[in-house]
Structure 1
Amino acid sequence: MALPNTVKRNAGDGPVLSVRGLTTSFRIGDDWRPVVKNVSFDIAPRETVAIVGESGSGKSVTSLSIMRLLPKFTSRIEGSVKLGGRELLTLGSEEMRKVRGNEISMIFQEPMTSLNPIFPIGKQIAEAITCHRQVSAAEARAEVIQLLEKVRIPNAKSRFDDYPHQFSGGMRQRVMIAMALASKPRLLIADEPTTALDVTIQGQILDLIKVLQEEEGMSVLFITHDMGVVAEVSDRTIVMFRGDAVETGPTDDIFHRGRHPYTRALLSAVPRLGSMTGHGRPMRFPIVDIASGVTTTPETEVGRVVETRRQPILEVKNLTTRFDIRSGLFGRKSGAVHAVENVSFDLCEGETLSLVGESGCGKSTTGRSITRLVEPTAGSIALDGRDVIRLDRGALRNMRRTIQMVFQDPFASLDPRMKIGDAVMEPFIEHGLGTKAQAREKAADILKRVGLDADMMRRYPHEFSGGQRQRIAIARTLMLDPRVIVADEAVSALDVSIKAQVCNLLLELQQSFNLAYLFISHDMAVVERVSHRVAVMYLGEIVEIGPRQAVFENPQHPYTKKLMAAVPIPDPARRSIKRAVSTDEIKSPIRPPGYEPPPRQYREVSSGHLVQV
């Protein structure tokens, strides 16, 4: 059934939620600093309203203010928040507790921080029911099973007693939705519920929320920074910037007739799948000034032409990495995780090969195996002609000057007690490449190359934004003059405008230093923009590999097609499209002892474009 693009409101329908003049401030020393400023909006019955903006815009604080979940003594909420005409900001603590989870429910970004790891999921959902209603344990159990079935968890009855760690990320988010629906709320607040999920699981969750909204008749407040998600789920959109609601209106108007510079900036910065059709080389992202909405970087092709492939700098053949599973009293081997299975590819100077796939497909383990951060089980890795697997400790240390890694979370890879100048200089000094003065001079030069000032060297990691910290991590890898960089989800955690800046930086550095990139990502739109070649991984194996243009414009493997079809597209017309809600999860890579996968065959679709058959 197609969902309506706009909400039909009855004349007599009052808003489910009415927010007027909401201002939220936090205590900073002796002062109160407002982070949400005079925000007003309504949500009608069965309506979905999206609040969109980048990190720090105030969108999550708005939702927490509505729920009154902010710390009591360091926050101050002013204005009016009415649920069905009832003022929430003046309710006592006990009355507000009865509202939460009963009339208003909330889904958070990371379900594992909301689920108790030591209790079965069925018991946790049942608690949400028994907390607000007088029902027997048997009645609560039956209701929980119905809820699990409603959110399309297979074998719901048998999974009642399973623990959170026994579910995938997508299934844990379904459990959180079931918990939120337990009391049949009038309003569901979904705070970035799909940001941490793979693209196909994200599509399932978005479709599920739309279907359940129709079935349950509830209103939804959806908070996100992804304009593609906004286009697919929302009837009306509120754009927030530095605590202000700078634009509000029907989603179609916001996308096609957005007036505020920040709205236009958000839309311009979104990478769109299919934007590279007809282009042979990677292209810079358009960079939009957030304050003015003006595009400052032209969309030009960058990088070197690699149609004529040279001698590879990296050659990977039949790479296999498995992790033993031991159980029982004596720790006998009971199976193995076949994380990477018989993977082969090569990489030339100045080339970007992207590894794409969902969590658990083996792409990150492939990157870590190549750098020997984990030990491969079998296969060969040749880096600049040297056999990486056979290197001893000293030779391996020298090899890592040639190949460096950039991780997803730069804050986790930077020592919070070390000034960033020292962090960037450290590899140069540890490898004995020069004096401390030479290291400082080189670090200052490289920080300038990545768009930072040399005088920032005296600061600590916490004094930088996420995008700046990622630039620092990239600068540190360049200190050793590597020839290959493994970028493992290096831009996945960044806001859309910062993501564009960091991707452009990587492309420009590649052009300047002739770097080879192994770009690991699940973001298909970004991959399409930065890649020369693409390899699609599923259950530890490459199922399709070839030139970027061939793979994106003529995908052959069903899994490749599935990945591309699931990418949210920033087009409000898709609000009327409802995909079939799937309960599929990526299959388990765990195999019994002695299992060997069958030999795989590939057919060549076109020059260099291979697909598993």
Structure 2
Amino acid sequence: MTSPILTVSNLTTSFRVEGQWKSVVRNLSFDIKPKETLAVVGESGSGKSVTALSIMRLTPPQSSRIEGSVKLNGKELLTLPDAEMRHIRGNEIAMIFQEPMTSLNPVLTIGFQIAEALILHRGLSRSEAEAETVRLLEKVRIPAAKSRFHEYPHRFSGGMRQRVMIAMALACKPKLLIADEPTTALDVTIQAQTLELIKTLQDEEGMSVLFITHDMGVVAEIADRTVVMYNGDEVETGATEDIFASPKKPYTKALISAVPKLGSMIGKGRPMRFPVVDRNTGESDVPTETPDTVKAAERPVLEVAGLTTRFEIRGGLLSSVKGRVHAVENVSFSLKAGETLALVGESGCGKSTTGRSVMRLIEPLEGSVLLDGVDVLKLNQHDLREQRKRMQMIFQDPFASLNPRMNVGTAIAEPLLINNLASRSEARDKVADLLKRVGLLPDMANRFPHEFSGGQRQRICIARALAVEPRLIVADEAVSALDVSVKAQVVNLMLDLQARMGLGYLFISHDMAVVERVSHRVAVMYLGEIVEIGPREAIFQNPQHPYTKRLLAAVPIADPARRLQKRPVSNDEIKSPVRAPDYVPPVRQYREVSPGHAVMIWGEEWEKKDPAAIAA
């Protein structure tokens, strides 16, 4: 029997808080065998990332205490001198963090940063390190690796930056790779590429992987064995197949049930709430279809026609235009009251710019945006402010969109007071009602944003958006950064509010499984244009455009039996939307596949470029 690469026994990590030691990981034990992938899964605050930092001894020494045992090939790491531990970091254990941009130095080229690790740890000369760096960049499938050696991190997409981090981690051929939420913030296609890349490199290099995530769909895709954590404790451990087939603990059942499954909406006419599992009993409610609040005869609450938004690129302050970013190009759609239209696509496709252009947070170049028949783009500032009461926006990062110095009661009341919709005493009562409506307690109004979890902060942002009783809500990636169970709660809340208030949602997302659950209709965007639009069932059951097929093929499926199957994943980056100043966009033609289902007619370049999409 082969001995484990890593053995963790009774790991307990504590932090000093106000003079007291508070344990955040308690008596955790597991081991990782050669070439094995172990997933540590749980929600934010469960102790997953602290476990990884404790293994690497990266917690702050003045305010943290690590107890227990961590052995790498039989060598105890917790008692090693700092100099020896520095040698092990990078050489024998490497780590990839969740946000690659904060892990890379923005003022150094990516080639220099990878070469530096090779010079420091493997003693290579500068020229040898540069040659090895190019080989590593090619290994992680970065196109034109040699020409991109001298580029800075900001010139790479999120997925390509994550590949650079993987190349850096592999530089010294580590025995163990710790991947801490490496795919959480990535688009579904980039996530699929990253997971396939880690699996391929694991086979080639023969290394073990400790994979930290909150997404059970990703766990099913990559892990041999799984450790489930909750509030610092190990809840359940076992082979991934066994945990998915027969989870023993209520919390594990709750995590698995909250994973949106592609195809679960076949035969369902309207959006459905996620099932809610009690963490203490494991009992699950049976979700029902939401009531139909779409009034077919009514005029659409939102009508967008020919919307075009471009950004000029200049060489300097007074220089001429060198090019333009064609962020949104001739986009048209409508949205009825009580209906959800999902706008989907990868980062850079123009989804968020479309949402901001509709709200006139960005000034479009041309087109019309009719809100209840009024063209928002033609209003002066005073009339626009009046019209904005009828349309509100929920942003992706709730912490960034709340004032940290303002308690949440004041933040929710602010739009009421600014728009003279309530007196101060009336606003206080309305805030209490709104907090109850989004599942929070009225006495939470006196707390500040940092005192809430991510899911609670997003609920506060929803309460603030509802304060002025809008007709339309633009939800820009409103649930993409949330834990899987919190995501389910927030989506359920949005569906309940829609059913009660007849809200129209423009739901911007890259998460196809969530989109299938919540939407009535779906519009797929690529390079600023809608390439396919139609009823949810038509898009998911009969996708026509190769790009739509590619998005759907990339969704992780929560079935461990499929883990060893190779999936056709395209390694192409999304093309650049930057065009020359004199560029004239071609006139696009659409064909109607079925009532309400239209697809852009595409050329042969899609088939040549993306066989994976066609195969899917």
Same fold (TM over 0.5): yes
Return the alpha-carbon distance in structure 2 between the equivalents of residues 146 and 452 of structure 1: 53
Return the alpha-carbon distance in structure 2 between the equivalents of residues 252 and 21 of structure 1: 25
Q: Does 1:531 align with 2:519?
A: yes
Return the alpha-carbon distance in structure 2 between the equivalents of residues 258 and 581 of structure 1: 30
**Displacement of 1:373 after TM fit?**
0.3
Which of 271, 281, 284 is the matching residue for 1:282? Answer: 271
Query: Are the counterparts in 2 of residues 353 and 519 from structure 1 also a CA contact under 8 Å?
Result: yes
Which of 353, 372, 375 is the matching residue for 2:341? Answer: 353
Return the alpha-carbon distance in structure 2 between the equivalents of residues 369 and 43 of structure 1: 50
**Displacement of 1:292 after TM fit?**
3.0
Q: Does 1:71 align with 2:57?
A: no
Q: In the alignment, what sits opposite 2:488?
A: 500
Which of 480, 489, 499 is the matching residue for 2:477? Answer: 489
**What do residues 472-511 of structure 1 show as CA deviations (whole Å, max 9, x unaligned)?**
1111111111000001111111111111111111111111
Return the alpha-carbon distance in structure 2 between the equivalents of residues 221 and 165 of structure 1: 28
SS in 2 for 1:301: coil
Is the alpha carbon distance of 1:305 and 1:427 closer, same or farther for their aligned partners in structure 2, counting shifts above 3 Å? closer
**What do residues 425-482 of structure 1 show as CA deviations (whole Å, max 9, x unaligned)?**
1101100112111111112112111111211111111111111111111111111110
Q: In the alignment, what sits opposite 2:164?
A: 175
Query: Are the counterparts in 2 of residues 284 and 298 from structure 1 also a CA contact under 8 Å?
Result: no
Q: In the alignment, what sits opposite 1:549?
A: 537
Q: Output aligned runs, 1:239-258, within 5 Å.
A: 239-258=228-247
Return the alpha-carbon distance in structure 2 between the equivalents of residues 597 and 472 of structure 1: 41
Q: In the alignment, what sits opposite 2:298?
A: 310
Query: Are the counterparts in 2 of residues 303 and 507 from structure 1 also a CA contact under 8 Å?
Result: no
Return the alpha-carbon distance in structure 1 between the equivalents of residues 500 and 296 of structure 2: 20
Is the alpha carbon distance of 1:581 and 1:566 closer, same or farther for their aligned partners in structure 2, counting shifts above 3 Å? closer
Q: Output aligned runs, 1:63-142, within 5 Å.
A: 63-142=52-131
**Displacement of 1:309 after TM fit?**
5.4
**What do residues 175-196 of structure 1 show as CA deviations (whole Å, max 9, x unaligned)?**
0000000000000000000111
Q: Does 1:604 align with 2:598?
A: no
**What do residues 231-257 of structure 1 show as CA deviations (whole Å, max 9, x unaligned)?**
111111111111111111111011102
Moved more, 431-440 or 597-606: 431-440
Return the alpha-carbon distance in structure 2 between the equivalents of residues 580 and 185 of structure 1: 28
**What do residues 367-417 of structure 1 show as CA deviations (whole Å, max 9, x unaligned)?**
000000000011111111111111001000001001000111111111111
Moved more, 351-360 or 460-469: 460-469
Q: Does 1:327 align with 2:315?
A: yes
**Displacement of 1:307 after TM fit?**
8.5
Q: In the alignment, what sits opposite 2:607?
A: none
Q: In the alignment, what sits opposite 1:8?
A: none
Using structure 2 for the length normalisation, give the TM-score.
0.96
Return the alpha-carbon distance in structure 2 between the equivalents of residues 269 and 330 of structure 1: 53
Query: Are the counterparts in 2 of residues 22 and 81 from structure 1 also a CA contact under 8 Å?
Result: yes
Q: In the alignment, what sits opposite 1:223?
A: 212
Q: Output aligned runs, 1:352-391, within 5 Å.
A: 352-391=340-379
Q: Does 1:259 align with 2:264?
A: no
**Residue segments in structure 1 that go unaligned for 5+ positions in a row:** 1-10
Q: Does 1:428 align with 2:412?
A: no
**What do residues 529-574 of structure 1 show as CA deviations (whole Å, max 9, x unaligned)?**
1101000000000000011111111111111111011000110011
Q: In the alignment, what sits opposite 2:286?
A: 298
SS in 2 for 1:283: coil
Q: In the alignment, what sits opposite 2:606?
A: none
**Displacement of 1:330 after TM fit?**
3.4
Q: In the alignment, what sits opposite 1:465?
A: 453
Which of 401, 419, 427 is the matching residue for 1:413? Answer: 401
Moved more, 17-26 or 285-294: 285-294
SS in 2 for 1:334: strand
Is the alpha carbon distance of 1:35 and 1:373 closer, same or farther for their aligned partners in structure 2, counting shifts above 3 Å? same
**Displacement of 1:77 after TM fit?**
0.4
Is the alpha carbon distance of 1:382 and 1:540 closer, same or farther for their aligned partners in structure 2, counting shifts above 3 Å? same
Letter in 2 for 1:253: D
Return the alpha-carbon distance in structure 2 between the equivalents of residues 568 and 430 of structure 1: 45
RMSD (Å) for aligned C-alpha atoms: 1.1
Q: Does 1:195 align with 2:188?
A: no
SS in 2 for 1:284: coil
Return the alpha-carbon distance in structure 1 between the equivalents of residues 427 and 328 of structure 2: 38
Is the alpha carbon distance of 1:137 and 1:580 closer, same or farther for their aligned partners in structure 2, counting shifts above 3 Å? farther
Is the alpha carbon distance of 1:484 and 1:394 closer, same or farther for their aligned partners in structure 2, counting shifts above 3 Å? same
Q: In the alignment, what sits opposite 2:501?
A: 513
**Displacement of 1:305 after TM fit?**
5.7
Return the alpha-carbon distance in structure 1 between the equivalents of residues 197 and 441 of structure 2: 46
Query: Are the counterparts in 2 of residues 352 and 530 from structure 1 also a CA contact under 8 Å?
Result: yes
Return the alpha-carbon distance in structure 1 between the equivalents of residues 17 and 96 of structure 2: 29
Return the alpha-carbon distance in structure 1 between the equivalents of residues 559 and 297 of structure 2: 38
Moved more, 388-397 or 438-447: 438-447
Return the alpha-carbon distance in structure 2 between the equivalents of residues 299 and 342 of structure 1: 38
Using structure 1 for the length normalisation, give the TM-score.
0.97
**What do residues 324-352 of structure 1 show as CA deviations (whole Å, max 9, x unaligned)?**
00004732210011000000000111111
Q: In the alignment, what sits opposite 2:221?
A: 232
Q: In the alignment, what sits opposite 1:443?
A: 431
Q: Does 1:478 align with 2:461?
A: no
**Displacement of 1:74 after TM fit?**
0.6
Query: Are the counterparts in 1 of residues 294 and 502 from structure 2 also a CA contact under 8 Å?
Result: no
Aligned length: 601
**What do residues 70-114 of structure 1 show as CA deviations (whole Å, max 9, x unaligned)?**
000111000110101111001011110000000000000111111
**Displacement of 1:583 after TM fit?**
2.4
SS in 2 for 1:319: strand
Query: Are the counterparts in 2 of residues 306 and 532 from structure 1 also a CA contact under 8 Å?
Result: no
Q: Does 1:159 align with 2:162?
A: no
